[in-house]
Amino acid sequence: MTAKTSVIAALCAACLTTACVHIGPTRLRADQVDYARALGDAKKREILAAIVGLRYGDAPAFLTVSSIIAAYQFDTTAGATGNIGSGSEPNYALATGSVSYSNHPTFTFTPTTGEAFASAYIRPLAPELFMPLAEGGIPIDLLLRITAQSIGGLQNDSALGGDNSAGAPGFFELLQTLRRLQMAGELNVESRQENGKATVYLALGASTSGQSPQITSDLARVRQLLHLAPSTRTYEIVYGPSSQQGDRITMVTRSVLGILTELGAQVQAPVEEINNGSTKPTVGLIGGETRPTIIVRSGPKAPKEAYVIVDYDKSAYWVDRNDFDSKYAFTVLQNLMALAEADTSTKAPVVTIPAN
């Protein structure tokens, strides 16, 4: 091979090398994070859409992403022409090539219906399912404000309206006191397996000495509000509507649909839509609460930087990105829904990325 033909061959090789890119490993680095974020954002929008829809009496529907196929296509062509002249004819070499790239992902959605819907969304959450979240540091006042309809006979707010729709002041006093004890390390949630059944206990007064007057007062107040025996430190949490004197704490919990409905009742709705019967009056605050669990704003158009946005009827509804408390409560809600859905037959989504 002469030097001139080597030049032509080198040009062809360079074109082919540039075009034939292995996109599989490259796309994996991006897709693993991008699809995880996309699934999380889609779930947030689904939850907010359900909250707003229930505010107006619309039944929610839930779709599970069961599979994602990232169909990438990368085509290349290359060619070369040349002339090794003699005499007066010039020497030249020409390399040509083309590259085409396309991305057509396929998503498979599975509606949640039947027994899976009833188990995940309609049945009340079991205390032993969500109370262990407090062991991991979730604020117990936020957790119980979302999940509990009543504790020891003390009522949380209710979306059904009426004189007691805002809840009992003692309920919110209890939550605030429990939170102070949790931050002081004087409250623990213990999960146990007894006779093949999962049970959960609330332990009050972790330290045996050196308690401050505030802690002593808070411990006494919790026992008083819940009618608990003062000589006991560990109390079993059981499902039930009324208070029991002794070593048990009764709790009526909400279902996922109940939680979403209650959160929707706190969303500020236009006065004209309340007056014309489109929705119920907004549930107010009581017992020292200063804000709704999740502040959902509405208007003709949402800001682009909002944390999550959905459109309903002629308005946009959103949660502000700079509202950390609302975002954190939204995250807790997502975790609760994931726990509820874990007991159903729903499978985690499978992402397939062809490696070309």
Give the residue among 91, 82, 73, 80 at the shortest CA–CA distance from 13.
Answer: 80
**Does residue 105 sit within a domain?**
no
Q: What is the pLDDT of residues 184-203, one digit of tens each?
A: 999 999 998 888 888 999 99
Give 156-159's long-range contacts (Cβ < 8 A, gap of 24+): 156/262, 157/262, 157/265, 157/266, 157/283, 157/286, 158/262, 158/265, 158/283, 159/261, 159/262, 159/264, 159/265, 159/280, 159/283
**Does residue 290 sit within a domain?**
no
Number of domains the chain contains: 1
**Predicted pLDDT at 349:** 60
Asked if 338 and 54 count as a contact pair (C-beta separation under 8 A), the reply is no
**Does residue 147 sit within a domain?**
yes
Predicted TM-score (pTM) of this structure: 0.78
* DSSP-derived secondary structure letter, 220: H
**Does residue 130 sit within a domain?**
yes
**Does residue 109 sit within a domain?**
no
Q: What is the pLDDT of residues 141-170, one digit of tens each?
A: 999 999 999 999 898 888 765 666 667 889
Full domain range(s) for residue 183: 125-254
**Does residue 302 sit within a domain?**
no
**Does residue 142 sit within a domain?**
yes
Q: What mean pLDDT comes out for the span 29-46? A: 82
**Does residue 21 sit within a domain?**
no
